[in-house]
């Protein structure tokens, strides 16, 4: 019997599972609202140059620290820069960092986790000893140390957060592979002569995607928080590039007299992080029926 004889029913079952997951996700109002918020946010920041906003770097020293008005909907900052524009472009930075870090982290972690879990032995030992070594350092302190010694740039922050994040992804993927590689469908694939790489990529990895997708969504929220935390400490995204964490850091100095400088970026950060967390929670419930709440 050929591998194609097994693939068609399995593909139909997988499609049915994803369709059922979508139906369950739609019943979670918080997750659906979060999904729409995230889509709107991505569209808003992606097409920011078409919105007619002034440059986030343009200074007007004659209009410093203005309150929200018709000319500047969210007011201006301590250098007279349009605050709405800086929040929107700061959102570009946060989403770029969040998505780039999670894509790189998931790619590296899944590859190493697949190899460690599937082959075991020396390969597993080598990869997991590297993971254990990375876990020996407190993640945020390691990120602070690396960010302090690397040249200040968005890509340096992405590199730092990828170094911090990939061990967790590798460990999760390894655990999933260990639980799947002895299942019947893997044995059937071996019987029909499928190669190791085909088994990993076509049989094991697709069955591991549910928790990885959930982790991806929640990981974006954590990454955005980490980037904002580094920027707040002054070792993340450096001025004049707008960053929500850096804006909150500057705004707290004027909190008593110009509270909008701290409130607006804090609200943007909080809503974005909550949206990704709610979406991740909804995906967890949708992809695992046992976690579904009545």
What separation in angstroms does the CA of 32 have from each of 38, 56, 103, 281? 10, 31, 23, 11
Handedness of CA 186, 189, 195, 199 (dihedral sign): negative
pLDDT at 10: 54
pLDDT of 294: 44
Chain segment 234-253, per-residue pLDDT in tens? 888 888 888 899 899 888 88
Q: Which residues pair with 76 in a beta bridge?
A: 82
Domain residue limits, the chain: 21-46+87-291
Share of the chain above pLDDT 70, in %: 91
User: Which CATH architecture fits 21-46+87-291?
Assistant: Orthogonal Bundle (1.10)
pLDDT exceeds cutoff 70 at 219 = yes
The rounded percent of the chain whose pLDDT value lies above 90 is 33
- The answer to whether 185 and 203 are in contact (CB under 8 A) is yes
Alpha helices (H) along the chain:
3-26, 29-46, 83-119, 121-135, 139-149, 154-180, 184-191, 196-198, 209-232, 244-251, 260-287
Supply angle C-alpha 207, 174, 165, rounded to 5: 105
DSSP 76: B
Peptide bond into 240 cis (omega under 30): yes
**pLDDT for residue 96:** 92
């Amino acid at each position: 019997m050929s591998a194609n004889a097994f693939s068609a029913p399995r593909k139909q079952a997988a499609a049915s599972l994803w369709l059922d997951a979508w139906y369950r996700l739609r019943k979670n109002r918080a997750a659906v609202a979060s999904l729409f918020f995230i889509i709107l946010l991505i569209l808003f920041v992606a097409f920011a140059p078409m919105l007619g906003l002034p440059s986030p770097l343009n200074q007007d020293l004659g209009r410093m620290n203005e309150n929200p008005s018709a000319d500047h909907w969210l007011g201006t900052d301590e250098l007279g820069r349009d605050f709405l524009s800086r929040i929107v472009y700061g959102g570009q930075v946060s989403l770029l960092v969040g998505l780039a870090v999670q894509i790189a982290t998931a790619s590296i972690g899944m590859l190493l986790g697949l190899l460690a879990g599937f082959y075991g032995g020396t390969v597993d030992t080598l990869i997991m000893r590297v993971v254990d070594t990375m876990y020996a350092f407190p993640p945020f302190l390691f990120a602070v140390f690396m960010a302090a010694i690397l040249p200040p740039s968005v890509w340096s922050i992405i590199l730092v957060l990828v170094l911090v994040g990939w061990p967790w992804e590798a460990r999760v993927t390894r655990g999933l592979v260990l639980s799947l590689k002895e299942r019947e469908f893997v044995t059937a694939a071996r019987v029909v002569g499928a190669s190791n790489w085909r088994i990993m990529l076509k049989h094991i990895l697709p069955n591991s995607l549910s928790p990885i997708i959930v982790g991806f969504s929640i990981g974006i929220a954590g990454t955005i928080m980490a980037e904002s935390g580094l920027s707040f400490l002054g070792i993340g995204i450096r001025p004049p590039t707008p960053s929500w964490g850096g804006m909150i850091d500057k705004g707290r100095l004027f909190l008593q007299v110009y509270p909008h400088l701290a409130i607006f970026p804090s609200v943007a950060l909080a809503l974005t992080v909550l949206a990704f967390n709610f979406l991740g929670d909804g995906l967890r419930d949708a992809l695992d029926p046992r976690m579904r709440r009545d």
